[in-house]
């Protein structure tokens, strides 16, 4: 493993240990560096700030989970596996889910859910989906999925995520089927236009 990654992992593990003892807001860069016997200079060589480090942790840890079930029949399997992983690393991900703003974990999660939602729609359509036709639906459900995951986290991550994800998937799939039927009806009206007569 390159030295750069070894240093990043040392800083990441230091942050995770600190987050068992205090909230993310209470942790300073000095705390993180001291926790793995590195200097602040070493920290800033690899990361802009503690938020950048947190982003690196969740991106590094979750990417392999998010791509592991690409061929699965149920697109929410990736989310279910991710939630199980978050349960195993509860304290860090509870903090990550409650850290908001640009490039935050909830925003990253929302973007990911939007991507897999579009893929799910394309699987149903058996063709490429035009973003402009599905932007509202996909954005709405991605926001709803993240809200449920945050609520689940704030309630202690005790509920089996498979339960609420199954319910959310049923709502999503039902809505998509209705939207497809509605769009097809517009394309193929039951009363075709009367052809124009020659002058």
DSSP per residue over 88-126, as a string? HTHHHHHHHHT--STT-HHHHHHHHHHHHHHHHHHHHHT
Q: Cα 78 vs. chain centroid, distance in angstroms?
A: 10
What the block records as the tokens of 3 is 């030295």
37 exposure class (CB count in 10 Å sphere: 0-12, 13-18, 19+): exposed
3-state secondary structure at position 35: coil
Going from N- to C-terminal start, the domains of the chain cover 1-47, 51-187
Domain 1-47: homologous superfamily in CATH: Homeodomain-like (1.10.10.60)
- From the list 134, 138, 143, 148, the residue with the least C-alpha distance to 182 is 134
Task: Dump pLDDT digits (tens) for 32-65.
Answer: 999 999 999 999 999 999 999 998 998 898 888 8
* 20 C-beta neighbours (distance < 10 Å), count: 9
Whether pTM exceeds 0.95: no
Helices 105-125 and 161-187, interaxial angle, to 10°? 50
Residue 20 is encoded by which pair of tokens?
């068992």
Q: Give the closest residue to 32 by CA, choosing from 17, 52, 20, 21.
A: 17
pLDDT by 10s per residue, the chain, length 199 = 567 889 999 999 999 999 888 888 899 999 999 999 999 999 999 999 999 999 899 889 888 887 765 545 567 888 899 999 999 999 889 988 988 776 788 998 999 889 888 888 888 777 777 878 888 888 999 999 999 999 999 999 999 999 988 898 888 888 888 888 887 777 655 545 444 344 4
Please say whether the beta carbons of 70 and 53 come within 8 A: no
Burial (CB < 10 A; 0-12, 13-18, 19+), residue 42, is: middle
Q: Tokens representing 40?
A: 């602040």
Which is nearest to 154 in space by CA: 94, 197, 100, 110? 94
Q: What is the pLDDT of residue 193?
A: 45
């Amino acid at each position: 493993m390159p030295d750069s990654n070894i240093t990043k992992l040392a800083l990441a593990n230091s942050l995770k240990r600190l987050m068992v003892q205090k909230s993310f807001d209470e942790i300073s860069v000095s705390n993180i560096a001291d926790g793995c016997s590195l200097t602040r200079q070493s920290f800033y060589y690899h990361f802009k700030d503690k938020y950048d480090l947190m982003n690196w942790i969740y991106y590094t840890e979750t990417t392999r989970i998010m791509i592991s079930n690409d061929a699965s029949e149920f697109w929410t399997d990736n989310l279910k596996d991710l939630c199980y992983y978050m349960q195993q690393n509860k304290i860090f991900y509870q903090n990550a889910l409650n850290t908001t703003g640009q490039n935050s974990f909830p925003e990253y999660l929302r973007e990911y859910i939007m991507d897999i939602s579009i893929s799910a729609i394309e699987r149903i359509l058996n063709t490429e989906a035009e973003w402009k036709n599905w932007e509202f639906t996909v954005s709405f459900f991605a926001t709803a999925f993240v809200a449920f995951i945050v609520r689940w986290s704030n309630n202690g991550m005790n509920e089996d995520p498979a339960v609420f994800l199954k319910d959310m998937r049923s709502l999503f799939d039902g809505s998509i089927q209705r939207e497809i039927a509605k769009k097809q009806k517009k394309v193929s009206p039951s009363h075709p236009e009367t052809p124009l007569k020659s002058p």
